[in-house]
Amino acid sequence: MTEVHPFIAEHREKIEKEFPGASEEKITNEHNRMFAKWLEKKCTDLPMENNLSWLARKPSMTVQKYQAYDINANTFYTEERDSKTTYQNSSVLVQALTTNNVK
């Protein structure tokens, strides 16, 4: 994301000042180790509409789970829900038309 590039440069400069004379490998290792936490603190004041603000807050470990899904007027159940019912339809049918004369 191009929005992150200025922050990467800023953080690397900060690391270079904290470790004057350090090797490029040391700078890179420190940058990789600390950048995510630093970015999170740096972006806490940004409005939530900002993509970088969402990125800095890291992914949520909460997962949405549903027992059924309605897609194009068809209901699909999870295996767990399906195993509790007496009627099961586990096949998929696709009807297709072709303009070719296949014999």
DSSP per residue over 19-57, as a string? STT--HHHHHHHHHHHHHHHHHHHTTTS-TTSHHHHHHT
pLDDT reported for residue 93: 64
Coil/strand/helix, residue 70: strand
Q: Collect the ranges in the chain with pLDDT lower than 70.
A: 48, 59, 87-94, 98-103
Give the contacts of 96 (CB within 8 A, at least 6 positions apart).
Answer: none
- Give per-residue pLDDT as tens, 73-94: 888 888 788 778 776 666 666 6
Give pTM, 2 decimals: 0.52
